[in-house]
A and B are shown apart, each in its own frame.
Chain A
Amino acid sequence: MAGAKLSRRKIAAYFADEIADGRNITKQLAAYLVESKRVREADLVVRDIEAALADRGILLTDVASSRELAAETKQAITAFLKQTTGAKDVHIRSHVDPYLLGGVRIDTPGARLDATLRHKLNQLTASKI
Protein backbone atom coordinates (compact mmCIF):
# COMPACT_ATOMS: atom_id res chain seq x y z
CA MET A 1 0.00 0.00 0.00
CA ALA A 2 3.02 2.29 0.18
CA GLY A 3 3.37 2.62 -3.64
CA ALA A 4 1.54 5.16 -5.81
CA LYS A 5 -0.92 7.51 -4.21
CA LEU A 6 -4.31 5.85 -4.00
CA SER A 7 -7.56 7.72 -4.21
CA ARG A 8 -9.69 8.01 -1.08
CA ARG A 9 -12.44 6.11 -2.78
CA LYS A 10 -10.16 3.12 -3.44
CA ILE A 11 -8.84 3.22 0.08
CA ALA A 12 -12.36 3.33 1.47
CA ALA A 13 -13.52 0.49 -0.74
CA TYR A 14 -10.56 -1.68 0.25
CA PHE A 15 -11.00 -0.94 3.95
CA ALA A 16 -14.75 -1.54 3.79
CA ASP A 17 -14.21 -4.87 2.10
CA GLU A 18 -11.74 -5.89 4.78
CA ILE A 19 -14.09 -4.92 7.59
CA ALA A 20 -17.00 -6.64 5.90
CA ASP A 21 -14.93 -9.77 5.79
CA GLY A 22 -14.27 -9.47 9.51
CA ARG A 23 -10.69 -8.26 9.36
CA ASN A 24 -9.55 -5.19 11.22
CA ILE A 25 -6.87 -3.30 9.33
CA THR A 26 -7.20 0.01 11.13
CA LYS A 27 -3.55 0.06 12.13
CA GLN A 28 -2.42 -0.56 8.55
CA LEU A 29 -4.64 2.24 7.35
CA ALA A 30 -3.23 4.59 9.95
CA ALA A 31 0.29 3.58 9.01
CA TYR A 32 -0.42 4.16 5.34
CA LEU A 33 -1.84 7.62 6.00
CA VAL A 34 1.19 8.56 8.07
CA GLU A 35 3.63 7.14 5.56
CA SER A 36 1.94 8.80 2.59
CA LYS A 37 1.65 12.04 4.58
CA ARG A 38 -2.13 12.08 4.25
CA VAL A 39 -3.00 12.32 7.91
CA ARG A 40 -4.96 15.46 7.21
CA GLU A 41 -7.31 13.39 5.08
CA ALA A 42 -8.09 11.00 7.89
CA ASP A 43 -11.54 12.41 8.57
CA LEU A 44 -12.43 12.37 4.91
CA VAL A 45 -11.15 8.81 4.56
CA VAL A 46 -13.23 7.72 7.54
CA ARG A 47 -16.28 9.37 6.03
CA ASP A 48 -15.68 7.62 2.73
CA ILE A 49 -15.19 4.32 4.51
CA GLU A 50 -18.50 4.75 6.30
CA ALA A 51 -20.19 5.47 2.99
CA ALA A 52 -18.54 2.39 1.46
CA LEU A 53 -19.66 0.30 4.41
CA ALA A 54 -23.18 1.63 4.01
CA ASP A 55 -23.11 0.47 0.42
CA ARG A 56 -22.18 -2.96 1.72
CA GLY A 57 -25.06 -3.06 4.20
CA ILE A 58 -23.11 -1.98 7.26
CA LEU A 59 -24.46 1.31 8.58
CA LEU A 60 -22.49 3.38 11.05
CA THR A 61 -24.68 6.05 12.48
CA ASP A 62 -24.27 8.84 15.02
CA VAL A 63 -27.24 9.29 17.28
CA ALA A 64 -27.37 12.39 19.47
CA SER A 65 -29.88 12.98 22.20
CA SER A 66 -30.27 15.07 25.31
CA ARG A 67 -30.38 11.96 27.52
CA GLU A 68 -28.90 8.54 27.45
CA LEU A 69 -30.96 6.41 25.12
CA ALA A 70 -32.73 3.40 26.54
CA ALA A 71 -32.07 0.03 24.95
CA GLU A 72 -35.63 -0.08 23.73
CA THR A 73 -35.18 3.26 21.98
CA LYS A 74 -31.95 2.14 20.39
CA GLN A 75 -33.69 -0.96 19.09
CA ALA A 76 -36.45 1.16 17.62
CA ILE A 77 -33.89 3.38 15.93
CA THR A 78 -32.02 0.41 14.63
CA ALA A 79 -35.16 -1.09 13.19
CA PHE A 80 -36.06 2.21 11.66
CA LEU A 81 -32.64 2.54 10.04
CA LYS A 82 -32.70 -1.00 8.72
CA GLN A 83 -36.07 -0.41 7.24
CA THR A 84 -35.30 2.91 5.64
CA THR A 85 -31.76 2.20 4.40
CA GLY A 86 -31.93 -1.52 3.79
CA ALA A 87 -28.81 -2.06 5.92
CA LYS A 88 -28.18 -5.53 7.29
CA ASP A 89 -26.10 -4.38 10.19
CA VAL A 90 -26.52 -1.10 12.06
CA HIS A 91 -23.99 0.26 14.52
CA ILE A 92 -25.01 3.17 16.68
CA ARG A 93 -22.61 5.68 18.19
CA SER A 94 -24.56 7.45 20.89
CA HIS A 95 -23.84 10.99 22.01
CA VAL A 96 -25.47 12.91 24.84
CA ASP A 97 -25.93 16.64 24.29
CA PRO A 98 -28.22 18.43 26.76
CA TYR A 99 -28.34 21.39 24.42
CA LEU A 100 -30.69 19.36 22.22
CA LEU A 101 -33.39 19.58 24.96
CA GLY A 102 -35.18 16.44 23.78
CA GLY A 103 -35.72 14.11 20.82
CA VAL A 104 -33.02 12.57 18.70
CA ARG A 105 -30.69 13.46 15.83
CA ILE A 106 -29.56 10.64 13.59
CA ASP A 107 -26.65 11.12 11.20
CA THR A 108 -25.99 8.50 8.57
CA PRO A 109 -23.58 8.72 5.64
CA GLY A 110 -25.29 11.16 3.33
CA ALA A 111 -28.39 11.79 5.42
CA ARG A 112 -29.57 13.37 8.65
CA LEU A 113 -32.77 13.08 10.63
CA ASP A 114 -33.06 15.87 13.16
CA ALA A 115 -36.04 15.28 15.43
CA THR A 116 -34.72 17.24 18.40
CA LEU A 117 -36.60 19.93 20.21
CA ARG A 118 -33.63 22.23 19.69
CA HIS A 119 -34.04 21.85 15.95
CA LYS A 120 -37.72 22.70 16.19
CA LEU A 121 -36.94 25.72 18.29
CA ASN A 122 -34.33 26.78 15.77
CA GLN A 123 -36.87 26.38 13.00
CA LEU A 124 -39.29 28.51 15.00
CA THR A 125 -36.65 31.16 15.54
CA ALA A 126 -35.68 31.05 11.86
CA SER A 127 -39.27 31.83 10.92
CA LYS A 128 -38.75 35.37 12.13
CA ILE A 129 -39.35 37.96 9.43
Chain B
Amino acid sequence: MNFLMQFAATEEAAGGDIFSTLGIDWRLLILQIIAFLILVWILGKFVYPWLMKSVDERQAKIEESVKAAEEAEKKAESAQEEIATLLKDARAEAKDIVTTAKDEAAAMVADAEGKAKTRAEKIVADAHDQLQKDVIAARKALHNDTIELVALATEKIVGKTVNDGIDKKIITEAVQAETAKERA
Protein backbone atom coordinates (compact mmCIF):
# COMPACT_ATOMS: atom_id res chain seq x y z
CA MET B 1 0.00 0.00 0.00
CA ASN B 2 2.94 2.30 0.76
CA PHE B 3 4.61 1.43 -2.47
CA LEU B 4 1.63 2.47 -4.49
CA MET B 5 1.31 5.74 -2.66
CA GLN B 6 5.01 6.50 -3.34
CA PHE B 7 4.60 5.67 -7.07
CA ALA B 8 1.59 8.01 -7.39
CA ALA B 9 3.47 10.78 -5.77
CA THR B 10 6.46 10.35 -8.14
CA GLU B 11 4.17 10.30 -11.17
CA GLU B 12 2.67 13.51 -10.19
CA ALA B 13 6.03 15.09 -9.64
CA ALA B 14 7.42 14.00 -13.05
CA GLY B 15 4.63 15.69 -14.92
CA GLY B 16 3.34 12.58 -16.80
CA ASP B 17 6.48 11.37 -19.03
CA ILE B 18 6.52 7.58 -19.41
CA PHE B 19 10.39 7.30 -19.30
CA SER B 20 10.31 9.40 -16.22
CA THR B 21 7.48 7.37 -14.92
CA LEU B 22 9.47 4.18 -15.47
CA GLY B 23 12.62 5.76 -14.09
CA ILE B 24 14.50 5.54 -17.38
CA ASP B 25 16.82 8.34 -18.43
CA TRP B 26 16.77 8.32 -22.28
CA ARG B 27 20.11 10.06 -22.51
CA LEU B 28 21.67 7.50 -20.34
CA LEU B 29 19.92 4.88 -22.38
CA ILE B 30 21.41 6.21 -25.58
CA LEU B 31 24.82 6.25 -24.02
CA GLN B 32 24.35 2.72 -22.87
CA ILE B 33 23.22 1.67 -26.35
CA ILE B 34 26.26 3.37 -27.89
CA ALA B 35 28.52 1.75 -25.33
CA PHE B 36 26.86 -1.56 -26.06
CA LEU B 37 27.39 -1.14 -29.77
CA ILE B 38 30.99 -0.17 -29.20
CA LEU B 39 31.38 -3.23 -27.06
CA VAL B 40 29.80 -5.38 -29.75
CA TRP B 41 32.09 -3.85 -32.34
CA ILE B 42 35.15 -4.41 -30.19
CA LEU B 43 34.10 -7.95 -29.49
CA GLY B 44 33.39 -8.56 -33.15
CA LYS B 45 36.62 -6.96 -34.21
CA PHE B 46 39.07 -8.38 -31.70
CA VAL B 47 37.59 -11.05 -29.45
CA TYR B 48 35.35 -13.13 -31.68
CA PRO B 49 37.97 -13.67 -34.41
CA TRP B 50 40.52 -14.76 -31.85
CA LEU B 51 37.94 -16.90 -30.13
CA MET B 52 36.73 -18.40 -33.39
CA LYS B 53 40.31 -18.98 -34.44
CA SER B 54 40.98 -20.80 -31.22
CA VAL B 55 37.81 -22.79 -31.66
CA ASP B 56 38.75 -23.60 -35.25
CA GLU B 57 42.22 -24.61 -34.21
CA ARG B 58 40.79 -26.71 -31.44
CA GLN B 59 38.36 -28.29 -33.83
CA ALA B 60 41.15 -28.92 -36.33
CA LYS B 61 43.21 -30.51 -33.61
CA ILE B 62 40.29 -32.62 -32.57
CA GLU B 63 39.62 -33.65 -36.15
CA GLU B 64 43.31 -34.36 -36.60
CA SER B 65 43.30 -36.42 -33.43
CA VAL B 66 40.22 -38.27 -34.61
CA LYS B 67 41.87 -38.83 -37.94
CA ALA B 68 45.04 -39.98 -36.26
CA ALA B 69 43.00 -42.24 -34.02
CA GLU B 70 41.25 -43.68 -37.06
CA GLU B 71 44.55 -44.17 -38.79
CA ALA B 72 45.95 -45.72 -35.66
CA GLU B 73 42.94 -47.96 -35.52
CA LYS B 74 43.41 -48.85 -39.16
CA LYS B 75 47.06 -49.45 -38.53
CA ALA B 76 46.18 -51.54 -35.52
CA GLU B 77 43.77 -53.55 -37.61
CA SER B 78 46.36 -53.87 -40.33
CA ALA B 79 48.96 -54.82 -37.74
CA GLN B 80 46.56 -57.34 -36.29
CA GLU B 81 45.97 -58.81 -39.71
CA GLU B 82 49.69 -58.83 -40.33
CA ILE B 83 50.24 -60.46 -36.95
CA ALA B 84 47.59 -63.01 -37.82
CA THR B 85 49.28 -63.64 -41.16
CA LEU B 86 52.64 -63.87 -39.46
CA LEU B 87 51.24 -66.21 -36.88
CA LYS B 88 49.68 -68.30 -39.60
CA ASP B 89 52.95 -68.37 -41.51
CA ALA B 90 54.86 -69.09 -38.31
CA ARG B 91 52.48 -71.94 -37.49
CA ALA B 92 52.86 -73.32 -41.00
CA GLU B 93 56.62 -72.95 -40.80
CA ALA B 94 56.66 -74.54 -37.37
CA LYS B 95 54.55 -77.35 -38.72
CA ASP B 96 56.94 -77.78 -41.62
CA ILE B 97 59.89 -77.71 -39.25
CA VAL B 98 58.26 -80.29 -37.01
CA THR B 99 57.42 -82.43 -40.02
CA THR B 100 60.93 -82.09 -41.37
CA ALA B 101 62.38 -82.85 -37.96
CA LYS B 102 60.17 -85.91 -37.69
CA ASP B 103 61.22 -87.03 -41.15
CA GLU B 104 64.87 -86.43 -40.35
CA ALA B 105 64.52 -88.21 -37.05
CA ALA B 106 62.85 -91.13 -38.78
CA ALA B 107 65.58 -91.15 -41.41
CA MET B 108 68.24 -91.02 -38.72
CA VAL B 109 66.58 -93.83 -36.84
CA ALA B 110 66.30 -95.86 -40.03
CA ASP B 111 69.92 -95.09 -40.89
CA ALA B 112 71.04 -96.01 -37.39
CA GLU B 113 69.03 -99.21 -37.56
CA GLY B 114 70.57 -100.00 -40.94
CA LYS B 115 74.05 -99.33 -39.66
CA ALA B 116 73.43 -101.34 -36.54
CA LYS B 117 72.07 -104.18 -38.62
CA THR B 118 75.03 -104.03 -40.98
CA ARG B 119 77.42 -103.91 -38.07
CA ALA B 120 75.68 -106.79 -36.37
CA GLU B 121 75.81 -108.80 -39.57
CA LYS B 122 79.49 -107.97 -39.95
CA ILE B 123 80.15 -108.99 -36.37
CA VAL B 124 78.32 -112.25 -36.96
CA ALA B 125 80.16 -112.80 -40.25
CA ASP B 126 83.50 -112.00 -38.62
CA ALA B 127 82.71 -114.31 -35.76
CA HIS B 128 81.72 -117.00 -38.24
CA ASP B 129 84.92 -116.48 -40.21
CA GLN B 130 86.97 -116.51 -37.04
CA LEU B 131 85.19 -119.67 -35.98
CA GLN B 132 85.92 -121.25 -39.35
CA LYS B 133 89.54 -120.19 -39.06
CA ASP B 134 89.73 -121.59 -35.56
CA VAL B 135 88.17 -124.83 -36.73
CA ILE B 136 90.60 -125.05 -39.65
CA ALA B 137 93.51 -124.23 -37.35
CA ALA B 138 92.32 -126.83 -34.87
CA ARG B 139 92.00 -129.39 -37.66
CA LYS B 140 95.48 -128.54 -38.89
CA ALA B 141 96.86 -128.79 -35.41
CA LEU B 142 95.08 -132.10 -34.91
CA HIS B 143 96.30 -133.32 -38.28
CA ASN B 144 99.88 -132.32 -37.54
CA ASP B 145 99.76 -133.70 -34.02
CA THR B 146 98.34 -136.95 -35.36
CA ILE B 147 101.07 -137.18 -37.99
CA GLU B 148 103.71 -136.42 -35.40
CA LEU B 149 102.25 -139.00 -33.07
CA VAL B 150 101.95 -141.61 -35.81
CA ALA B 151 105.52 -140.95 -36.92
CA LEU B 152 106.83 -141.27 -33.40
CA ALA B 153 104.78 -144.38 -32.72
CA THR B 154 105.78 -145.91 -36.03
CA GLU B 155 109.42 -145.18 -35.36
CA LYS B 156 109.19 -146.78 -31.93
CA ILE B 157 107.29 -149.81 -33.16
CA VAL B 158 109.33 -150.28 -36.32
CA GLY B 159 112.56 -149.98 -34.36
CA LYS B 160 111.45 -152.92 -32.21
CA THR B 161 109.55 -155.08 -34.69
CA VAL B 162 111.61 -154.92 -37.87
CA ASN B 163 114.01 -157.84 -38.03
CA ASP B 164 116.26 -159.11 -40.75
CA GLY B 165 113.49 -161.02 -42.45
CA ILE B 166 111.14 -158.07 -42.57
CA ASP B 167 113.93 -155.77 -43.64
CA LYS B 168 114.84 -158.13 -46.46
CA LYS B 169 111.24 -158.32 -47.53
CA ILE B 170 110.96 -154.52 -47.53
CA ILE B 171 114.08 -154.16 -49.65
CA THR B 172 113.05 -156.87 -52.06
CA GLU B 173 109.61 -155.37 -52.52
CA ALA B 174 111.10 -151.92 -53.05
CA VAL B 175 113.52 -153.23 -55.65
CA GLN B 176 110.76 -155.16 -57.39
CA ALA B 177 108.49 -152.15 -57.37
CA GLU B 178 111.19 -149.97 -58.90
CA THR B 179 111.94 -152.65 -61.46
CA ALA B 180 108.31 -152.85 -62.41
CA LYS B 181 108.20 -149.08 -62.60
CA GLU B 182 111.23 -149.06 -64.92
CA ARG B 183 109.67 -151.68 -67.12
CA ALA B 184 106.48 -149.76 -67.29
Do B162 and A101 have beta carbons less than 8 Å apart?
yes
A67 CA to B8 CA in the complex, in Å? 204
Q: Verify if B33 is at the interface (C-beta below 8 Å from A).
A: no
A72 CA to B164 CA in the complex, in Å? 12
Contact with A76, one of B140, B148, B164, B175 (Cβ below 8 angstroms): B175
Q: Verify if A70 is at the interface (C-beta below 8 Å from B).
A: yes
A115 CA to B178 CA in the complex, in Å? 10
- Minimum distance in angstroms from B173 CB to a CB of chain A: 8
Do B168 and A84 have beta carbons less than 8 Å apart?
no
Q: Verify if A128 is at the interface (C-beta below 8 Å from B).
A: yes
* Set of chain B residues within 8 Å of A129, measured between Cβ atoms: 140, 143-144
In the complex, residue of chain A having the shortest beta-carbon distance to the beta carbon of B159: A101
* Set of chain B residues within 8 Å of A80, measured between Cβ atoms: 175, 178-179
Do A103 and B151 have beta carbons less than 8 Å apart?
no
A residues contacting the other copy or chain, number (CB 8 A)? 25
A59 CA to B159 CA in the complex, in Å? 32
Do A104 and B154 have beta carbons less than 8 Å apart?
no
Do B158 and A117 have beta carbons less than 8 Å apart?
yes
Do B168 and A70 have beta carbons less than 8 Å apart?
yes
CB proximity to B under 8 Å, residues A83-104:
83-84, 101-104
A72 CA to B175 CA in the complex, in Å? 13
Do B162 and A66 have beta carbons less than 8 Å apart?
yes
- Minimum distance in angstroms from A128 CB to a CB of chain B: 4
B48-78, CB under 8 A of A: which get 1 and which 0?
0000000000000000000000000000000
Do A102 and B179 have beta carbons less than 8 Å apart?
no
* Set of chain B residues within 8 Å of A125, measured between Cβ atoms: 147-148, 151
- Minimum distance in angstroms from B148 CB to a CB of chain A: 7
Q: Verify if B155 is at the interface (C-beta below 8 Å from A).
A: yes
Contact with A70, one of B147, B150, B164, B166 (Cβ below 8 angstroms): B164
Q: Verify if A127 is at the interface (C-beta below 8 Å from B).
A: yes
Q: Verify if A61 is at the interface (C-beta below 8 Å from B).
A: no
A69 CA to B174 CA in the complex, in Å? 14
